[in-house]
């Protein structure tokens, strides 16, 4: 609130629908007036218009969580934040000190346990993590190795779940059409703002893929019957990825899914590097996002961790490639944005530049994009702002120059 730079590192951000609010992890102790324990990781929300910073990982009375909190995600309006935490003082339901998922309502300061069973009274009996939240704050998707959340047996394997806080129902997402849990871990979900479209990673052998690699899958939770669609395939679906695929991100209408892989799913991708892909489920079409505009081949360095905006017009990602935009820096991980609305023309801009257009000489990563596509948040050790004098990892927000 005092505009002081955080006195310890901050990282792993998410950004609201219009870019006003940014949530992030931090071990800083000077971001708010709340008393927080030194070197304890907390979740904060920054209002970029008013300048206000709120401690999110606190109980309903504002007391800090008594253990570390991680992995924040925010609703489009900035009201709801989900995160994982080992804290035991957020809920009257005993959590046992393992990582569990919580949702904070920043309008009334209430906090609620998400990783609980259909009775609403029993906590997941093992760790829960990687949450995402719907815009109304009623739906939360997360990963858990618990065995007590649904009637479908998880086998103690990490599965993806969808919790409805309005009626306490909970559904295992990473299951077959015959209601059998994935036989190997499923992780890292993303979800559309209405909770209808969910994507995740899995190496399960009883989901559609026929090889043993980590694949990306899609589920429509509004469908009459449960089915799982493989996303990590080439355009006509005849060839599946022959290498692991990671970090799926889905548009609000479920039509586009972004992920990264070293596998070649596009005939134009011959660079042998990790590339960010998008899958247009409606066409269908699978293409490289992180592509050189001249050659249409993937960039000359690894690109990863793509995030698509809600309207599926833009993809933000990080890359070591120096040939994606005219100001690429060799050997440094930068933040880029691809404008999908100009397809088939490839429009990519680098956005982690200083106010005077200078280039960073240190890595930037963990890009998150606002639903409208106007802003991107990320973290970096580089001091983009003259007021940043702490030489630590900090959170920045950049404007999408192609917007």
Closest residue by Cα to residue 101 from 31, 157, 149 = 149
In this prediction, residue 163 carries a pLDDT of 98
Assess contact for 302 and 319: CB atoms under 8 A: yes
Provide CB contacts within 8 A for 173, sequence distance 6+. 141, 159, 160, 161, 162, 186, 189, 198, 200, 219, 221
3-state secondary structure string, 323-365?
A: CCCCCCCCCCCEEEEEEHHHCCCCCEEECCECCCCCECCCCEE
pLDDT tier for residue 149 given thresholds of 50, 70 and 90:
very high
pLDDT tier for residue 328 given thresholds of 50, 70 and 90:
low
Name the strand (E) or helix (H) holding 276.
strand 275-280
Distance of CA 258 to the CA centre of its chain: 11
Which two structure tokens, joined as six digits, stand for 15? 């950004």
Q: Return the ∠ at Cα 372 (arms to 114 and 332), rounded to 5°.
A: 90
pLDDT surpassing 70 at residue 133: yes
Q: What is the pTM assigned to this prediction? A: 0.95
Provide CB contacts within 8 A for 102, sequence distance 6+. 82, 83, 84, 85, 90, 91, 111, 112, 113, 114
Distance of CA 264 to the CA centre of its chain: 23
Higher pLDDT, 172 or 329: 172
Cα separation values, 218 from 77, 248, 342, 398, Å: 25, 9, 25, 30
In this prediction, residue 321 carries a pLDDT of 94
Mean pLDDT of 368-377: 97
20: number of Cβ within 10 Å: 17
Write b or e for each residue in 367-392: b if 16 or more Cβ atoms lie within 10 A of its Cβ, otherwise e: bbbbbbbbbbbbbbbbbbeeebebeb
Mean pLDDT of 341-361: 91
Residue 71, helix vs strand vs coil: strand
Q: What is the pLDDT of residues 59-112, one digit of tens each?
A: 999 999 999 999 999 999 999 999 999 999 998 887 888 999 999 999 999 999
Cα separation values, 148 from 182, 342, 355, Å: 16, 47, 51
Cα separation values, 161 from 113, 132, 295, Å: 14, 11, 41
Closest residue by Cα to residue 114 from 158, 146, 157, 76 = 146
In this prediction, residue 2 carries a pLDDT of 55
pLDDT tier for residue 252 given thresholds of 50, 70 and 90:
very high
Query: Percent of the chain having pLDDT more than 70?
Result: 99
Q: What is the pLDDT of residues 182-215, one digit of tens each?
A: 999 999 999 999 999 999 999 999 999 999 999 9
CB-count exposure of residue 18 (10 Å: 0-12, 13-18, 19+): middle
């Amino acid at each position: 609130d005092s505009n002081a730079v955080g006195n310890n590192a901050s990282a792993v951000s998410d950004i609201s629908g219009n870019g006003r609010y940014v949530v992030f992890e931090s071990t800083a102790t000077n971001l708010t007036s709340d008393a927080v324990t030194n070197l304890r990781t907390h979740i904060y929300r920054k209002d970029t218009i008013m300048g206000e910073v709120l401690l999110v990982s606190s109980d309903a009375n504002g007391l800090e969580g008594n253990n570390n909190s991680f992995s924040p995600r925010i609703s489009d309006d900035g009201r709801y934040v989900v995160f994982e935490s080992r804290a035991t003082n957020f809920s009257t339901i005993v959590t046992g000190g393992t990582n569990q998922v919580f949702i904070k309502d920043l309008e009334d300061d209430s906090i609620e346990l998400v990783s609980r069973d259909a009775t609403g009274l029993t906590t997941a009996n093992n760790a829960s993590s990687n949450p995402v939240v719907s815009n109304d704050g009623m739906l939360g998707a997360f990963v858990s190795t618990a065995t007590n959340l649904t009637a479908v047996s998880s086998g103690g394997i990490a599965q993806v779940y969808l919790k409805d806080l309005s009626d306490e129902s909970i559904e295992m997402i990473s299951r077959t059409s015959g209601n059998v849990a994935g036989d190997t871990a499923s992780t890292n979900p993303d979800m559309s703002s209405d909770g209808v479209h969910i994507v995740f990673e899995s190496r399960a052998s009883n989901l559609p893929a026929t090889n043993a690699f980590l694949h990306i899958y899609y589920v429509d939770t509004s469908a009459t019957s449960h089915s799982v669609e493989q996303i990590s395939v080439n355009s006509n679906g005849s060839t599946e990825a022959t290498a692991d695929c990671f970090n799926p991100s889905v548009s609000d209408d479920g039509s586009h899914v972004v992920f990264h892989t070293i596998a070649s799913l596009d005939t134009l991708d011959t660079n042998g590097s990790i590339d960010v892909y998008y899958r247009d489920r409606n066409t269908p079409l699978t293409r490289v996002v992180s592509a050189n505009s001249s050659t249409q081949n993937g960039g000359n360095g690894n690109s990863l961790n793509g995030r698509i905006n809600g309207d599926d017009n833009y993809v933000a990602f990080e890359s070591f490639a120096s040939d994606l935009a005219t100001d690429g820096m060799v050997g440094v991980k930068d933040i880029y944005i691809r404008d999908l609305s100009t397809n088939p023309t490839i429009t990519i801009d680098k956005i982690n530049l200083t106010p005077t257009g200078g280039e960073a000489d240190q890595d930037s990563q963990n890009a998150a994009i606002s639903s409208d596509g106007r802003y991107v948040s990320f973290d970096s050790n580089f001091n983009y702002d003259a007021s940043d004098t702490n030489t630590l990892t900090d959170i920045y927000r950049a404007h999408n120059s192609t917007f």
